[in-house]
Amino acid sequence: MSDSGSTKNNTSTKSDLDNALSPKDNGLDNSILSQVGEKGNIQEESLEEILLQELLQKTTQLQQVDRTISRMQQELDITRQIIDCQTNAIIFTDKQQHIVYANTVFCSLTGHDLQSLDGKKLDQFVMLPDPGQNLETVLQKAMHWGSWHGKVFLKDDGNNQLSLTMSLNYRDEGLHEEVTEGFIYQFTPADKSTATHPDQNSLSLFSYDALTGLPDRLSFQQHYSLCIEQAGIEHSHVGLLYIDLDHFKRINRMLGPAFGDELLCRVTAILQQCGNASGADFVARLSGDEFALILPSPTSERMAKELADRILRKFQHSLTIKSRDIFVTPSIGISLYPEDGKSPPELLRNADTAMETAKTRGGNTSCRWKSDMDTQAIQNLHLENDLRKAVANGELFNHYQPQINLTTGIIVGMEALARWEHPVHGNISPVIFIPIAENTGLIEELGLDLVRVACEQGRKWLALGFKNFTMAVNLSGRLLRRHDLFEEIMDCLKSTGFPPTSLEVEFTESVLIENMANTIDLISKCRREGIKMAIDDFGTGYSSLSYLQRFAVDKIKIDRSFINNVTTNASDAAITMAIIAIAKKLDFQVLAEGVETEEQLFFLQENQCDECQGFLFNKPVAAEQMTNLLRRDSSVALKHKRIIDKFYSIKAQNYEV
Ligand code: C2E
Ligand code: CA
Ligand code: CA
């Protein structure tokens, strides 16, 4: 947009408006009165004529004003649209740095909307790298020379800093001096070349992505090739992080492309900030929701992993976009030159494969490329086909793991866990086949089949006279997309004759939060029928207390990663204690998963955990073995009780001492 052009345009329209509303004929009454006064004895019909003429004239003038205003409005809208669709962040301030207008990119980068930015001073958002310099001096320079550009840091609403190049132009002509005399600022990504050569020409070396303002795929290829070339000469390493957002398509589909666009801009800001903090100041958008970060030489595997961890940590918090809190997680693939490839395309492909592997592990994680990943990908493809057949032939079954009450030692429930006996590969872990089933959509069929099998088995145990147990089943996020999920669950219960009050449904926190609307609906319907709800793997996801209150759940299951180190790691112990305390406060049952040692059990008893599940008592077992466990429940309970009582006797001895 040409600065002087828009000023001229506005000046002419303003004078049109001024003429139309000139004070000399602003008041209808005054001019008519003056005419009446002059003529004195004017006849009634000529007065009417004058009034009519006057009215006609004023109407024409008003129409002219109307047209002028709507033309100005149109021009203003067009100007705004032009500014808003610029790839760079642009703002206008008055001479005193008060923000007059900011385009959408600036709003996205800072996390503020236009309304909240209006009138704010720019130095709340922009910092200069040199603490000895301040924005006021920079503005003085721009007023003197007409422009200024250099590296700055832009702060977002979370006080994160983005490194950018700011180009500043001073404008001193305008309609209302107090408003339009001021500055126009453009912010462009501060990549390596612009950082070392902060002149406008070096910016044109790269082409930028229109939405995020990041260098695009082509620019990435150019820059990455240079980095590799340089590292080849220096015999050093270059790291590449290939980042893809988990479930982005779903977010885009459910919340709309405008939401998705803003999310991508926010992700851009986070990646830039993480990159800057790790010396990786080149971030590119490769396509859609795929980004690349280059860790320039000299670097190492450790540094690449640290950067990936930094990014993953950043995404543990929710982002507020269009007044909506959203959690989004990335999958990150890492490749390192020269170990993982000699040429840029090979390194990029390998980082992509590593990213895909991270996705098959459930996302929200990072993976370094390994030479066997390609064969693994092919194996996954074979597994996918085999899994399809296995689901169609009903070859999958459940194992059951007892859940024990920590006061009585009695089995109070069991969790159904999926098993697949592959004809060639043998026992395949659900950790491998459940993500494949989720990625392919097979889970919709498989998940419900397993719920039905669990209900059927539950009814058999009831028929054998075992009462007072809860059958826990796992429901994956993908299943929630089925709008008939509640009806399907009810059908499993009705057709097998298993009572709803004996069924417990487990969801992870992320499943709850990512499918908020569907889940709330499902939870309320299920609870009405008496079906219990449990949050699985608690502590590994968002652990948001406000969400906990919103979901009317019955039980929290503390993830086994905390229990694993509960007696050796102070922070795991603190987290476990805090989760138990929260559960008690909110009146939820609390179960600890993965209890393997007596020490862990004692810790949980001491902290009043209600139930536990783990290898210390029993591994997941086949249905027949579970029947035996239930049959021998009294003796099993005795064994369990002995373990539990040991704690109390140790405790009593401690008191005696
Ligand atoms: P999960 O729901 O957290 O299930 C508990 C897992 O912890 C089970 O692994 C169980 O064998 C294991 N475990 C129990 N006690 C101990 C212990 O003391 N030490 C250790 N190291 N592990 C213990 P499994 O059976 O391999 O299942 C893994 C995951 O697969 C489950 O984690 C669940 O997320 C998923 N999964 C299993 N079955 C189903 C299913 O039918 N549907 C869905 N959607 N997911 C399932
Ligand atoms: Ca579970
Ligand atoms: Ca779990």
Q: What is the pLDDT of residues 80-139, one digit of tens each?
A: 777 777 778 889 998 889 998 898 888 888 888 888 888 889 988 888 877 767 888 888
Nearest bound ligand to CA 506?
A: 2
The answer, yes or no, to whether any atom of ligand 1 lies below 6 A from the CB of 594, is: yes
* Residue 185 predicted with pLDDT over 60: yes
Q: Could you tell me if residue 621 is left (phi over 0), alpha (psi between -120 and 50 degrees) or otherwise beta?
A: beta
Query: Mind listing the pLDDT tens digit for each residue in 565-623?
Result: 999 999 899 999 999 998 998 899 999 999 999 999 999 999 999 999 999 999 999 99
Tell me which DSSP letter residue 197 carries. S
For residue 33, with 0-12 CB atoms within 10 Å meaning exposed, 13-18 middle and 19 or more buried, which class applies? exposed
Beta bridge partners of 529: none
Residues of the chain with CATH 3.30.450.20: 87-192
User: Residue 361 Cα, ligand 1 centroid: separation in angstroms?
Assistant: 14
Superfamily per CATH, domain 87-192:
PAS domain (3.30.450.20)
* Stated pTM of the model: 0.56
Please give the number of the atom of ligand 1 that sits closest to the Cα of 398. Answer: 41
**Dihedral sign computed on CA atoms, order 407, 409, 411, 415:** positive
The answer, yes or no, to whether any atom of ligand 1 lies below 6 A from the CB of 536, is: yes
Q: How many Å apart are CA 336 and CA 354, to the nearest integer?
A: 11
Nearest bound ligand to CA 620?
A: 1
Which residue is closest in CA terms to ligand 1's atom 43?
A: 474
Q: How many Å apart are CA 495 and CA 539, to the nearest integer?
A: 36
- Report the candidate in 215, 219, 188 with the shortest Cα–Cα distance to residue 109: 188
When mean pLDDT is compared across 278-292, 397-411, 483-497, 529-543, the lowest value belongs to: 529-543
Q: How many Å apart are CA 143 and CA 159, to the nearest integer?
A: 29
Tokens of 367: 């993976």
The answer, yes or no, to whether any atom of ligand 1 lies below 6 A from the CB of 560, is: yes
Q: What percent of the chain is modeled with pLDDT above 70?
A: 85
**How high is the pLDDT of residue 155?**
85
* Residue 177 predicted with pLDDT over 50: no
* Residue 454 predicted with pLDDT over 80: yes
Residue 321 has a CB neighbour count (10 Å cut-off) of 21
The answer, yes or no, to whether any atom of ligand 1 lies below 6 A from the CB of 447, is: yes
Higher-confidence residue: 7 or 83? 83
**How high is the pLDDT of residue 110?**
84
Which residue is closest in CA terms to ligand 1's atom 20?
A: 594
**How high is the pLDDT of residue 4?**
36
* Residue 497 predicted with pLDDT over 80: yes
The answer, yes or no, to whether any atom of ligand 1 lies below 6 A from the CB of 225, is: no
**How high is the pLDDT of residue 331?**
96
Nearest bound ligand to CA 430?
A: 1
**Dihedral sign computed on CA atoms, order 68, 74, 77, 81:** negative
CA atoms within 13 A on the CB side of 386: 17
User: Residue 471 Cα, ligand 3 centroid: separation in angstroms?
Assistant: 14
Please give the number of the atom of ligand 1 that sits closest to the Cα of 616. Answer: 18
Highest mean pLDDT among 169-178, 290-299, 433-442: 290-299
| Degrees to nearest 5, angle at CA 68 with 64 and 71 | 140
User: Residue 401 Cα, ligand 1 centroid: separation in angstroms?
Assistant: 9
User: Residue 417 Cα, ligand 1 centroid: separation in angstroms?
Assistant: 6
**How high is the pLDDT of residue 20?**
37
Please give the number of the atom of ligand 1 that sits closest to the Cα of 613. Answer: 15
Residues of the chain with CATH 3.30.70.270: 215-370
The answer, yes or no, to whether any atom of ligand 1 lies below 6 A from the CB of 228, is: no
- Read off the pLDDT of each residue in 490-517 and give the average, rounded to a whole number: 90
Residue 493: partners with Cβ closer than 8 Å, 6 or more residues away: 455, 499, 500, 503
* Residue 549 predicted with pLDDT over 50: yes
Residues of the chain with CATH 3.20.20.450: 382-656
The answer, yes or no, to whether any atom of ligand 1 lies below 6 A from the CB of 434, is: yes
- Read off the pLDDT of each residue in 418-441 and give the average, rounded to a whole number: 88
**How high is the pLDDT of residue 509?**
82
Which residue is closest in CA terms to ligand 1's atom 41?
A: 418
Q: How many Å apart are CA 500 and CA 462, to the nearest integer?
A: 13
User: If you average pLDDT over every residue of the chain, what do you get?
Assistant: 82
- Read off the pLDDT of each residue in 439-457 and give the average, rounded to a whole number: 93
The answer, yes or no, to whether any atom of ligand 1 lies below 6 A from the CB of 537, is: yes
User: Residue 415 Cα, ligand 2 centroid: separation in angstroms?
Assistant: 7
Confidence of residue 461 (pLDDT cuts 50, 70, 90): very high
Sheet holding 282-287, edge to edge: 282-287, 290-295, 238-245, 330-337, 366-368
Instruction: Decide: helix, strand or coil at residue 391.
Output: helix
CATH class of 215-370: alpha beta
Query: Mind listing the pLDDT tens digit for each residue in 32-85?
Result: 334 444 444 545 567 777 777 788 888 888 888 888 788 778 777 777 777 777
Nearest bound ligand to CA 362?
A: 1
**How high is the pLDDT of residue 543?**
63
**How high is the pLDDT of residue 171?**
77
The answer, yes or no, to whether any atom of ligand 1 lies below 6 A from the CB of 620, is: yes
CA 67 to chain centre: 46
Residue 211: partners with Cβ closer than 8 Å, 6 or more residues away: 87, 261, 264, 265, 285
User: Residue 536 Cα, ligand 2 centroid: separation in angstroms?
Assistant: 5
Query: Mind listing the pLDDT tens digit for each residue in 338-364?
Result: 999 988 889 999 999 999 989 888 789
Over the range 416-454, which residues count as b (16 or more CB within 10 Å of their CB) and which as e?
Answer: bbbbbeeeeeeebebebbbbbbbbbebbbebbbbbbbbb
Confidence of residue 655 (pLDDT cuts 50, 70, 90): very low
Please report, as a single letter, which amino acid is at residue 66.
Answer: D
The answer, yes or no, to whether any atom of ligand 1 lies below 6 A from the CB of 401, is: yes
Domain 382-656 has CATH 3.60.150.10: no
- Read off the pLDDT of each residue in 391-402 and give the average, rounded to a whole number: 93
User: Residue 622 Cα, ligand 1 centroid: separation in angstroms?
Assistant: 14
The answer, yes or no, to whether any atom of ligand 1 lies below 6 A from the CB of 431, is: yes
User: Residue 97 Cα, ligand 2 centroid: separation in angstroms?
Assistant: 55
Q: How many Å apart are CA 207 and CA 419, to the nearest integer?
A: 51
